[in-house]
Structure 1
Amino acid sequence: MKYFDYAATCPLDQEAAQLYIQSATEFFGNTSSLHDTGNQAQQLLETCRKELAQMLGVQTDGIYFTSGGSEGNFLAIQALLSSPFKKGKHIITSTAEHASIHSALEKCKQEGFEITALPYDPDGHIEVEQLKAAIREETVLIAIQHGNSEIGTVQPIVEISKLCRERDILLHSDCVQTFGKLDMQELAQSVDSLAISGHKFYGPKGVGAVYLNPRLHWEAFYPNTSHENGFRPGTVNVPGIAAMTLAAQQSLASLAEQQEHFIKLRDIFLNTIKDKEAQIKVYPSDLPSIVGLRIKGMEGQLVMLECNRNGYAISTGSACQVGSQAPAKTMTALGVTGKQAKEFIRISFGKNTKPEDVRTLGKTLIKILHAYEKQSERN
């Protein structure tokens, strides 16, 4: 099986896996235990916290380790809203946010908040002027993802941050899809919180991190919680955190090399399918590792299953929406509705993706399209 679903999850890096085993066997203590075994685990944990803070260019005491992006997004939003920073009951987000953001904001609606969800422009971006027009006196939070997981567009978070600073509005950004692919330091210093997830950059599943600006005073979502300074309950996953930190270091060390690799792969793919531009709609992307597209007339789930039958693993959008009958959220944000919205598929590259496999995937999609056209003619 040729894997083209790296935006959903990545295989665990071998060095990170080895470090996980070493940490789990040598630093197995509970970080809250007062004996030396617990203290050794605590020291490793704090080393990882310091390393991740340096990667983001933020204060170490603003880093909290979590079970991943979904929990991180939820707890970050809850922490921001618990802050006495500003009174109000209005939140702005985008239609295309990850399911975990929509879930967190649905809970906010139940608590009396009003949510404004903005669409994308035709190029897949939030229009800053439209965002500015949506701000009210009672707006307390803006939650906008950095990188879209379905088509790969990157939102102007630093520019949005300036608006927020001018109007005393808190800003959260879901950075799960961009950490490890872009330099995040300017963004991290511009937001009040962000979330990342280890398995998106070759770390283990079940571990992630949140940066929460230390200037803010917040209340724990879970009362009487001691781990991670009250941010979340549960024994800290030190081996997972150590492995994630190593994977993050490796990803950031090879940013330029990986970006060049992904641009090459995207160009190969687009050149392979260029003769079918009339039938294949490719959406704009700022992350060359993600290609979002539609084969006109073909439901995305059918294309995905045919690719799978031919030995290629692709997706129909965010893995957190599998089983849903609704179209990809990004299609809704772009104003694509009905049958067209359900035509969407996503192809995503990784560091081990080979150029020849990209070519054969493109040819396979054309073969699938030809078979569908012949079948339609017979019918």
Structure 2
Amino acid sequence: MIYLDTAATSPMRKEAIDAYIEAAKTAFGNTQSLHDAGSTAAEYITSCKQMWGRFFNGRAEGVYFTANASEGNQFTIRSLLRGRPSEFRDIITTKLEHASVLTTMHELEKEGYRIHYIPVDLFGVLDLKEFERAVNQKTALVVMQLVNSEMGAIQPVKACATYAKQFGVPIHCDIVQGFGKIPLDLTTLGVTSAVCSSHKIGGPKGVGIVYIDPAVHWESVYEGTTHQNGFRGGTVDVPAIVAATIAAKYALAEQQDAYQQATNLQEFMSYNLPEGVQLVGNVETKSPFIQGLILPHVEGQWMMLECNRQQIAISTGTACKIGFGEAMSAMSAIGFESDVARKFVRISFNPHTTLREVKAFIEVVNQSLIENNTRATQ
């Protein structure tokens, strides 16, 4: 099968699988146990935290591991809010956030928080002036993704973080679609916290990686939790964390070449899309790994099934929200009507995606257009 759905998940790379097997054999102990087996497992986790600290250009003591990035987003947002003064009830975000963030926002609104959604332009980039008008010294938290998962729009996170810091407001950033793909340095970015995902970069599913600036106050979501300094309860999966760390190491080493390849594929596709197919976003500024397309003739669900029949894997949007209008909400935020949003599909590249594979996808779209036009004239 031609796999053009890396934004949903990526196949595990061999180095990560090998690392998992080795760690499963040698680091099977519980990191909380005081015997040698536990100490060995704890040493593995310490080494992984040190490596992630370097990957982020942060500090090892700010690294935590969760079951996935969705859980990481939810835990981090709530932990930071619990560390803020109780009278601060305003949260700034956008409607383009991941499902895990938007769900948390809906929950927090029921709990008395006021959620302010900053508008975005037709390319999916937030209005910086509106952002600056919304943030003040009473703002509890800013939540902002770096790279949008539907169209690849890159938000001006650094500028937003710089502005928010003037008022002492923490900013949480979902970097899932950015880490290992675009240049990323949390210190330069200026965010308080960030979350990324192992399985987006060739690691195993079931590992989310969280970074929280150790200088910032946060409080545990669940009182009495002892694992990971109270951030998350439960025995950590040492082999999976080791595999995730190795996957990240290789993804970063190959990042520059992978970015150039994705840029070349994006350029080819933008010049060769059939007439009437619209590429969503600004190709000059967006992530080249994610391509959101609006079809002129059929719904995205139909095209996804047709591609699957041709052994090409694509999607109709973020896998975490399939069936719940994920493309609809994102497309609505940038100004598309609902009937247009239903014609949305997404393809996404990985370092192994080839020009031949992109051509095959374009051919399926083109053939469906020809057949549709033929039916329309009969």
TM-score after normalising by structure 1: 0.95
Q: Which residue of 2 aligns with 1:210?
A: 210
Write the distance in 1 (CA, Å) between the matches of 2:47 and 2:302. 47
CA deviation string 1:94-150 (max 9, x = no partner): 011100001111121121001011221122211211111222453211101000011
Residue 314 and residue 343 in structure 1: after superposition, are their counterparts in 2 closer, same or farther (change >3 A)? same
**1: CA distance, partners of 2:118 / 2:164:** 16
Q: Alpha-carbon deviation of 1:169?
A: 1.3
Q: Counterpart in 2 of 1:32?
A: 32
How far the C-alpha of 1:63 sits from its partner, in A, is 0.6
- Identify the range of structure 1 (130-139 vs 229-238) with the bigger mean alpha-carbon deviation: 130-139
Q: Take 2:312 and 2:33, find their aligned partners in 1: how far apart are those partners?
A: 47
The alignment partner of 1:347 has SS state of strand
**Match runs of 1:204-243 below 5 Å:** 204-243=204-243
Check whether the contact 1:304–1:314 (CA below 8 A) recurs between aligned residues: yes
Q: Secondary structure at the match of 2:375?
A: helix
* Deviation for aligned residue 1:325: 4.5
Instruction: Give the CA deviation at 1:248.
Output: 0.4
Which residue is 1:297 aligned to? Answer: 297
Query: Are the aligned partners of 1:147 and 1:178 in contact in 2 as well (CA < 8 Å)?
Result: yes
On the 8 A contact 1:77/1:172 being kept in 2, the answer is: yes
Q: What is the match of residue 330 of structure 2?
A: 330
Q: Which amino acid aligns with 2:290?
A: I
Give the match's secondary structure for 1:328.
Answer: helix
Cα shift at 1:264: 1.5
Residue aligned with 1:123, SS: coil
Structure 1 residue 373 corresponds to structure 2 residue 370? no
Q: Does structure 2 retain, via aligned residues, the 8 Å contact 1:95–1:332?
A: no
Change (3 A) 1:60 1:188: farther
8 Å Cα contact 2:142/2:172 also seen in 1: yes
The answer to whether the Cα contact below 8 Å between 2:73 and 2:195 also exists between their aligned partners in 1 is: yes
Residue 129 of structure 2 is matched in structure 1 by 129
Q: Secondary structure at the match of 1:345?
A: strand
1:179 aligns to 2:179 (yes or no) = yes
Deviation readout 1:224-268 (Å, 9 max, x if unpaired): 111111111111011111001011010111111111111121122
Could you tell me which residue of structure 2 aligns to residue 112 of structure 1? 112
Relative to the length of structure 2, the TM-score reads 0.96
- Residue 283 (structure 1) aligns with: 280
Structure 1 portions without partners, runs of 5+: none
1:292 partner letter = G
List, as ranges, runs of 4+ consecutive aligned residues in structure 1 with deviation greater than 4 Å: 186-189
- 1:7 Cα deviation (Å)? 0.5
Tell me, yes or no, if the aligned pair for 2:161 and 2:189 is still in contact at 8 Å.
no
Q: Contact 2:328–2:338 at 8 Å: present in 1 too?
A: no
- Report the CA distance between 1:327 and its aligned residue: 3.9
1:91 equivalent in alignment to 2:79: no
Look up the match of 1:65.
Answer: 65
Instruction: Tell me the secondary structure at the aligned position of residue 42 of structure 2.
Output: helix
> Mapping of 1:254-293 within 5 angstroms?
254-273=254-273, 276-277=274-275, 279-284=276-281, 285=283, 286-293=286-293
Q: Which amino acid aligns with 2:279?
A: V
Unaligned runs of 5+ in 2: none
Q: Determine if contact 1:86/1:168 at 8 Å carries over to the other structure.
A: no
Cα distance in 1 for residues equivalent to 2:265 and 2:157:
27
Asked if structure 1 preserves the Cα contact closer than 8 Å seen for 2:318 and 2:326, the reply is: no
2 CA distance for matches of 1:377 and 1:30? 68
Does the 8 Å contact 2:295/2:344 carry over to 1? yes
Aligned-pair distance for 1:222? 1.5
- Asked if the contact 1:86–1:169 (Cα under 8 Å) also holds between the matched residues in 2, the reply is no
**Residue in structure 2 matched with residue 166 of structure 1 by the alignment:** 166
Q: Is the contact made by 1:147 and 1:175 (CA closer than 8 Å) also made in structure 2?
A: yes
Name the amino acid aligned to 1:10: S
Separation in 1, partners of 2:186, 2:136: 26
Q: Which moved more, 1:323-332 or 1:169-178?
A: 323-332
Q: Which AA in structure 2 matches 1:158?
A: K
Q: Secondary structure at the match of 1:142?
A: strand
Contact 2:2 2:357 in 1 (8 A): yes
> Is 2:309 the counterpart of 1:313?
no
* 1:206 positional shift: 0.4
Shift of 1:35: 0.2
The alpha-carbon deviation at position 373 of structure 1 amounts to 2.2
Q: What's the offset of the Cα at 1:336?
A: 0.9
Q: Which amino acid aligns with 1:161?
A: A
Q: Counterpart amino acid of 1:208?
A: G
1: CA distance between counterparts of 2:109 and 2:213? 24
- Contact conserved, 2:150 with 2:327, CA < 8 A, in 1? no
AA at the equivalent of 2:156: P
What percent of counterpart residues are identical? Answer: 36
CA contact (8 A) 2:135 2:164 kept: no
- Aligned amino acid, residue 354 of structure 2: K
Q: Which digits, 9 at most, give the CA deviation of each residue in 1:326-362, with x for residues without a partner?
A: 6433202201122001111001111111211111211
Compute the displacement of 1:80 (Å): 0.8
Q: Within 1, Cα distance between the matches of 2:247 and 2:148?
A: 22
Pick which of 312-321 and 332-341 moved more: 332-341
CA contact (8 A) 1:282 1:291 kept: yes
AA aligned to 1:283 is V
Residue 44 (structure 1) aligns with: 44
C-alpha distance in structure 1 between counterparts of 2:295 and 2:246, whole Å: 39
Aligned partners of 2:172, 2:43: CA distance in 1, in Å? 29
Distance in 1 separating the partners of 2:115 and 2:235: 34
